[in-house]
Structure 1
Amino acid sequence: MQQRTLGRTGISVSKICLGTMTWGEQNTEAEGHAQMNYALDQGINFIDTAELYSTPGRAETQGSTETIIGNWFKANGRREDWVLASKICGPGNEWIRGGRPMDAREIVAALDGNLKRLGTDYIDLYQLHWPNRRHYNFSNSWGFNPYGQDREKVRDNLLEVLQALDAQVRAGKIRAIGVSNETSWGLMQYLSLAERHGLARMATIQNEYSLLRRQFDLDLAEVCAFEDVGLLGYSPLAAGLLSGKYNNGAVPAGTRGALGAMWRLNPHSETATKAYIALAEEHGLDVCQMGIAFCLSRPFMASVIIGATNMDQLRTDIAAHQLVLPDAVLKGIEEINRLYPRTI
């Protein structure tokens, strides 16, 4: 499988990343380990987790995904075969360190927990799961309002967080750092602070990207182009929405929707989903593979994070890396995007 480099780090990763957030809730440990084994056999060396996972986040399953991965490392002794990415939570979940915002103290505490659960002494890519300040991710764009925040306090916190991450890089506990669910302003602030103070540089940004959610094509794509930051695109199938399994009011048992976590679903997204399914059928393609292949074709994409709750889904999603979309399909995608550019 083709490898791509994370920013300016020199760290090479497979262009498909194994996402793990269902492990511990929708998937058992045995199923998670089977996914890791299969992914390795297919040339995948990149795996992504977080202290929050399994999802939907709750106290009973928090950290379970990292524990499952750590148990695989313990049983197989092949930690070096993986580029391991994990995250510290942003504020808001009371069962994770009291829901406190990220600062120097919380980064130390969170990282110690990550490392213990994962059974390793270093993480290759450590990411800030979401900002302390207001942001428009997780379907918050309709009500997003950045005004009224203490600007100096926000800026001071960004520097404190970056300094704390830099200290962990220097200590050898982290190889590289990244952001997630960030904005153009936030990413540029971190890059500017790193240059000004000689601190570790954000290598990646993990934001949502799919046929149904393409906000990244604008300002953030420009930042990545000029600043050598790679996108780790998550939810390339909009949490399964693009497959069509939620169309016409359906909520299949065992799905994210059945767990009450399908906040992406709305009348606009269903209309667009049906159009993409029709396009895929017209060209004899699997719509999920078409969606992942499109994400992989984007010039700012460092790796696409896939997630599956069964092996058939995993096989289909991974195989998408071999698909090159014909010009007619790409043209059709752009026509649909112009009709339904905002499905959030």
Structure 2
Amino acid sequence: MQYRPLGRTKLKVSALCLGTMTWGEQNTQKDAFAQIDRARDAGVNFIDAAEMYPVPPKAETYGETERILGNYLAERGNREDWIIASKVAGPGNWLPHIRDGMTRFTREHLTAALDASLKRLKTDYIDLYQLHWPDRSTNFFGNLGYRHNPDESITPIEDTLEVLDEFVKAGKIRHIGLSNETPWGVSRFLHLAESRGWPRIASIQNPYNLLNRTYEVGMAEISLREQTGLLAYSPLAFGTLTGKYLNGLSPEKGRLTLFSRFSRYTNPQAEQACARYVRLARDHGLDPAQMALAFVTRQPFVTSNIIGATNMDQLNRNLSSINMGLPDGVLEAIAEIHQSQPNPAP
């Protein structure tokens, strides 16, 4: 396993991070415990969760992922061996079951969210506390074009960062991160941290994979120059880059078979590009999933690649990707495909 600095903090996280959003929906607690033990054996020391998980979010399962992780930490008694990340849900009328829809980044709502997460996780602190998506309308979750609304009511970033500073001083969290953010948002958080002496963001958790490399356009430079590395989520584009959905296939337990909400990865352009990447991997004797993961992990702006699995075979293959080097011929072919079909699933 490789280990990389988490921003400018003193923490070093594994280059592969164990994702958790299937725990409590597609995976049982027993499954999750086995996944954590296997990841630990492979050298993983970094786990990413969220109060909203599992996905798709619903009232019946809200918080179950954090509860499962908390049960593991309590049973194993090895909290100090792990760097635990979690996320507070941002605003949205599609989450009425979370604090009765009160998911703004204000003092009241952030305090309620953090205290509940700490209770579910059975821990006194969270190593990396992330804002799951911005408290403003902007282009995230597959929306490329930004449309400005000057009349929108938003929580000032100053107010949010001031509260997070208090959490750090109280020892409830060690570091902060952003997720689904834009260059403007990252720059604003960095400026306020520097000018006010507030906590500096350590990471940015955004989507990044062979079908969606939009992070390279405006965010990669920030990550490298400011040491705010990417925690890449959806590195397999919800499993499409494994090839298991090609040619109209719908595996019974596949996430895209079960949950149609992730259809942005199955548009015709994405399917065509995906088929080319899968064929490229197989032509070179590579596992398509491992090639896709290795491509993400090797990027200089990536701090950690968040892998997820619903069975142990998937997890083992994903973990093994850390040892895969990509030949120059493969990298050149990836560049050619990307140039001809850039970002078909943003």
Q: Could you say whether these structures have the same fold, taking a TM-score greater than 0.5 normalized by the shorter chain as the test?
A: yes
CA distance in structure 1 between the partners assigned to 2:41 and 2:227 by the alignment: 30
SS of residue paired to 2:134 = coil
Is 1:185 matched with 2:184?
yes
Is 1:233 matched with 2:235?
no
Q: Which runs of 5+ in 1 are unaligned?
A: none
Counterpart in 1 of 2:109? 106
CA distance in structure 2 between the partners assigned to 1:81 and 1:226 by the alignment: 30
After TM superposition, the structure 1 = structure 2 runs for residues 270-285 of structure 1, keeping only pairs within 5 Å, are 270-285=271-286
After TM superposition, the structure 1 = structure 2 runs for residues 204-219 of structure 1, keeping only pairs within 5 Å, are 204-219=203-218
Is 1:117 matched with 2:120?
yes
Is 1:43 matched with 2:43?
yes
Q: CA deviation at 1:10?
A: 1.3
Counterpart in 1 of 2:245? 246
CA distance in structure 2 between the partners assigned to 1:291 and 1:163 by the alignment: 39
| Higher mean C-alpha displacement, 40-49 vs 95-104 | 95-104
Counterpart in 2 of 1:128? 131
SS of residue paired to 2:273 = helix
The AA in structure 2 aligned to 1:9 is T
The AA in structure 2 aligned to 1:50 is A
Q: Which runs of 5+ in 2 are unaligned?
A: none
Counterpart in 1 of 2:76? 76
CA distance in structure 2 between the partners assigned to 1:210 and 1:150 by the alignment: 34
SS of residue paired to 1:203 = strand
Deviations 1:115-134 (A, max 9, x none): 00000000000000001111
Q: CA RMSD in A?
A: 1.2
SS of residue paired to 2:219 = helix
CA distance in structure 1 between the partners assigned to 2:150 and 2:219 by the alignment: 22
The AA in structure 1 aligned to 2:214 is Q
Q: CA deviation at 1:259?
A: 2.4
CA distance in structure 1 between the partners assigned to 2:101 and 2:246 by the alignment: 35
Counterpart in 2 of 1:90? 90
CA distance in structure 2 between the partners assigned to 1:189 and 1:32 by the alignment: 37
Is 1:61 matched with 2:64?
no
The AA in structure 1 aligned to 2:226 is E
SS of residue paired to 2:158 = helix
Q: CA deviation at 1:56?
A: 0.6
| Higher mean C-alpha displacement, 22-31 vs 96-105 | 96-105
The AA in structure 1 aligned to 2:237 is A
SS of residue paired to 1:261 = helix
TM-score normalized by the length of structure 1 = 0.96
The AA in structure 2 aligned to 1:139 is G
Counterpart in 2 of 1:166? 165
Q: Which runs of 4+ in 1 moved over 3 A?
A: none
Counterpart in 1 of 2:141? 138
Q: CA deviation at 1:99?
A: 2.2
Q: CA deviation at 1:251?
A: 2.2
After TM superposition, the structure 1 = structure 2 runs for residues 193-208 of structure 1, keeping only pairs within 5 Å, are 193-208=192-207
| Higher mean C-alpha displacement, 46-55 vs 93-102 | 93-102
Identity of aligned residues (%): 50
CA distance in structure 2 between the partners assigned to 1:123 and 1:7 by the alignment: 16
Count of residues paired in the alignment: 340
Q: CA deviation at 1:150?
A: 4.3
Counterpart in 1 of 2:334? 333
Q: CA deviation at 1:274?
A: 0.4
CA distance in structure 1 between the partners assigned to 2:192 and 2:271 by the alignment: 41
TM-score normalized by the length of structure 2 = 0.96
